[in-house]
Amino acid sequence: MEFLYEYGLFTAKAITIVVALLLAIGGIVSLASKQKSGKGHLEITSLSEKLEDVADYSRSMLLTKEQLKKHNKEQKKAEKQQKKSAEDQVSSHLFVIDFKGSMDAHEVEYLREEITAILTIAKPEDEVLVRLESGGGVVHGYGLAASQLQRLCDKKIKLTVAVDKVAASGGYMMACVADRVLAAKFAIIGSIGVIAQLPNFNKLLKKSNIEWEQHTAGEFKRTLTMFGENNEQGREKFKEELEEVHQMFKGFVQEHRPELDISKVATGEYWYGSRALELGLVDEIQTSDDYLLRANEQRKIYSVKYSMKKNIAERLGFAASTAIESVLVKLWSMQNNLFK
């Protein structure tokens, strides 16, 4: 009985704290929500300088004064030689974009701005590296994201996509556009398939004596519904539409990677990097970090990022979610200590 009492007391405290936080912060957020979001801005930073800073710091910590002095002397000599030969060489740049996609692919708005910025300054000898991470999402969103990457290819700018964690479904639709696809050994690749699902509450509504009416104009304006009674005709049409999207997806991948055995890889399955390489879904097993380190020896690397300024409501909302998460973690820790 004492155990149940302590557990009930703990639960009541947890609920009270979370509700109080939600009410307090929610009130402030609602007052500030009328503010308009600030305009976005483009950020271009030198990754080459950051890498060099890391190298300088590492050398200063690990080398002796004599070794460091010798290295600096050799580096100055190398820089002089490089300057002399620079006039005869065509300098090139590597532009880096980070794309971490969500289900609705709203990040494509930022991707659009980043690619537009690159296209205004990129030369044919330049290259774009997209560090891609996405498990896929809505068809139209990722279709547009892939089209944004296609803009680079249309302008004959070399495009490389690096997948360190996952590029599945819509994520792979984006990746396959690239001239070269890199993947970490255990990155998740593939899932060339289409899925759609929704619950149906019709039986529950009938049991509660609730009627649901839905009126449409057009035989297949609505194939399946969450609240009405679905029929086989609607189900078959829904499946037909899914199959049509799948055929479009397969055709898109086949167009960009014609060497693929599409019937073998377009089953909806996913594979890890090593197996994806064997199947031809990717071109090389390599992380984006290693690729950047190698590239930095030959060219200047710049990160291109489009950011949107958040208004007060958005900033407070983020702070609220962070605070609540922190409280829940602490409560969970207290609970573990209480019931050991």
CA 111, CA 117: separation in Å to the nearest integer? 10
Q: From the candidates 34, 84, 203, 221, give the one annotated as an active-site residue.
A: 221
pLDDT in tens, the chain (340 residues): 554 455 555 555 666 666 666 666 666 555 555 544 457 899 999 998 888 888 778 877 877 777 777 777 777 766 666 655 554 455 799 999 999 999 999 999 999 999 999 999 999 999 999 999 999 999 999 999 999 999 999 999 999 999 999 999 999 999 999 999 999 999 999 999 999 988 999 999 999 999 888 888 998 888 999 999 999 999 999 999 999 999 999 999 999 999 999 999 999 999 999 999 999 999 999 999 999 999 998 899 999 999 887 666 556 665 666 666 566 555 555 554 544 3
Give the residue from 188, 160, 166, 191 showing the smallest Cα distance to 275: 188
Specify the pTM.
0.75
What was the pLDDT predicted at 338? 47
- For this structure, is 321 an active site residue? no
What was the pLDDT predicted at 59? 78
Q: From the candidates 169, 191, 288, 303, give the one annotated as an active-site residue.
A: 169
- For this structure, is 169 an active site residue? yes
SS3 (DSSP) at 161: strand
What was the pLDDT predicted at 340? 37
- According to DSSP, the β-strands at 127-134 and 158-168 are parallel
Specify burial of residue 114 (Cβ count, 10 A radius: 0-12, 13-18, 19+).
buried
CA 224, CA 48: separation in Å to the nearest integer? 53
